Amino acid sequence: MVGAITIGALYPTNLSDIYTYLPIGFAVLTFRIWRSEPRPRGPAGMPDWFRKLALTLGSMALLTVLAYGLYEPYRAAYSQGYRSVEAWTNSHTPIWSYLTHWGVFLFIITGWLAWETRQWLASTPASSLNKLRPYQIWIEASIAIFLVGLLYLAYRGVQVGWVAWPLAAWAGVLLLRPGLPDAKRFVLFLTGTALVISIVVEVFVVRGDIGRMNTIFKFYLQGWALLSVSAAAAFIWLLPELRQWLPGWRNFFQVGTAGLLVGAALYTVSATTDKLQDRMAPNVPLTLDSITYMPHAQYADFGATMDLLHDYKAIRWMQDHVQGSPVIVEANCPEYHWCTRFTIYTGLPGVVGWNWHQRQQRTLVPQLVEDRVSEVGDFYTTTDIQQAKAFLKRYNVRYIIVGQLERAEYKEGGLGKFPQYEGQLWDAVYREGETTIYEVRP
């Protein structure tokens, strides 16, 4: 039940996680059941393998039903827009980028795989190889599958396959080592799963994605979690074993691990430095207050250069004086422009937020978002006061923003209605320079 609640919670919190962790749950159940002690034949002479197979399938079905069923109220009210995958045919991750991202983990895990392989070979007499003859067809089939997979990835131009596919196969082979502790076997399984995930996102993409941006970062998060845990466990297991390594290999592993960890830790310093240098104005003080840059910055758009100090003062006023969560209306424009700045910095709901995010979250009904974007523009430009009143009532708008941005984007004309009907339909509760905030009368 606990597992079903935990795995099921992934659906509403981060949908893509369930496609990785539910199968991992299946694998854990299967391993636990098949590792259980054999029992005498059951009713009607049921063999133990049949009992375990039935128990495995039943447990997997029960886990699935509970994981999804416990969150059925959410699922019933949720419409999933991205429901399928398709082949990815554009550029792939270059190997240098892949190693930059995963290099620390892969270096440690590779060292551990090599040591476990060495220990396995050292404890296996050559005469025991004869015991593999009954499995020759399976071994040959596995090698053929590995080679076909490698050739396929090479044909598709998936450079990371030359690293991830062999390492995943290596981890899979080590799973078969007799007498291996369950903890190590589980880490090998997690390692192989993470590597396979990093290959899958090179071959498939979620239909409707922007390129494959969301596919990469959603599934790389899972790969990161699995590989980080695996690398940490491998590192701890290797530490007491290093004294048995030949000096050359021991020094190589120690220096390599230290160098990679130091290089990874430098990211915190280098990224912070880059962020400090990437500023809208050079004289902005260093602070954790993300709005402090505005009194020092200007922004050019719609043929006008705006002094952001005006918006800064108006936003601060709203932060200090507006109670509750009333709806506000402000200019809306294409992504990565200065629009929706009041909703961003006050947290108050707007008629429409960031256009693309809103459409992404409503992929089944994107026209609803596009209609709102159009209506916001019509509200500011119309001279028909009845149309403006209908808009305010439809979206329960409490505050209207008329600042430099609105004056630049919508020009004059429709903006004249705001001072004209002040005191009748709305009241100016804030006015400074070119920025006015109107509160709609009940």
CATH number reported for the structural domain that contains residue 427 in this entry: 3.40.50
**Is residue 315 a contact partner of residue 291, using CB atoms and an 8 Å limit?**
yes
Residues 352 and 204 in one domain: no
Q: What is the pLDDT of residue 22?
A: 87
Say whether both 101 and 34 belong to one domain: no
What is the distance between the alpha carbons of residues 392 and 353, in angstroms, rounded to a whole number?
A: 16
Q: Show which of 22, 51, 80 is a domain's final residue.
A: 80
Residues 46 and 143 in one domain: no
Residue 387 and residue 302 share a domain: yes
pLDDT band for 179, please (50, 70, 90 cuts): confident
Which pTM was predicted? Answer: 0.77
Is 249 contained in some domain? no
Q: What Å distances lie between residue 198 and 112, 223, 429, CA to CA?
A: 20, 7, 55
Dihedral of CA 87/91/95/100: which sign?
Answer: negative
Which of 30, 63, 80 is the last residue in one of the domains?
Answer: 80
Quick check: is 407 in a domain?
yes
Same domain as 129, residue 75: no
Catalogue the long-range contacts made by 97-101 (C-beta closer than 8 Å, 24 or more residues apart): 98/159, 98/160, 98/163, 98/164, 98/198, 99/163, 101/220
Rg (CA), the chain: 30
Burial class for 354, CB neighbours closer than 10 Å (0-12, 13-18, 19+): middle
Q: Which pLDDT score is estimated for 37?
A: 65
Let me know whether 117 and 222 are in one domain: yes
Answer whether residue 161 is part of any domain: yes
Of the candidates 198, 194, 202, the residue with the CA atom closest to the CA atom of residue 225: 194
pLDDT at 63 over 90: no
| 24 & 160 share domain | no
Domain assignment present for 255: no
Long-range residue pairs from 64-70, CB within 8 A, at least 24 positions apart, any chain: 64/22, 66/1, 66/4, 66/5, 66/8, 67/3, 67/4, 67/5, 67/7, 67/8, 67/11, 67/18, 67/22, 67/25, 68/8, 68/11, 69/8, 70/4, 70/5, 70/8
Same domain flag for 102 and 71: no
Please give the tally of structural domains in the chain. 3
Boundaries of domain holding 407: 294-440
pLDDT digits over 365-420, tens only? Answer: 778 888 898 999 999 999 999 999 999 999 999 999 999 999 999 987 799 999 99
Is the confidence at residue 228, as pLDDT, over 80? yes
Same domain, yes or no: 417 and 433: yes
81: confidence class by pLDDT, cuts 50, 70, 90:
low
Predicted confidence at residue 51, as pLDDT, reads 78
Q: Which of 4-8, 311-315, 343-347, 358-362 has the lowest mean pLDDT?
A: 358-362
Angle at alpha carbon of residue 311, lines to 306 and 312, rounded to 5°: 120
Domain assignment of residue 263, yes or no: no
CB-CB contact of 326 with 332 (8 Å): no
Boundary of a domain, candidates 244, 277, 310 = 244
Query: Within a domain: residue 283?
Result: no
Q: What is the pLDDT of residue 38?
A: 66
59 and 97 in a single domain? The answer is: no
**259 lies in some domain:** no
User: In this structure, are 68 and 91 located in the same domain?
Assistant: no
In a shared domain, residues 236 and 93: yes
Asked if the structure places residue 254 within a domain, the reply is no
Token pair 């390594």 is found at 245
Q: What is the pLDDT of residues 425-439, one digit of tens each?
A: 999 999 998 999 999
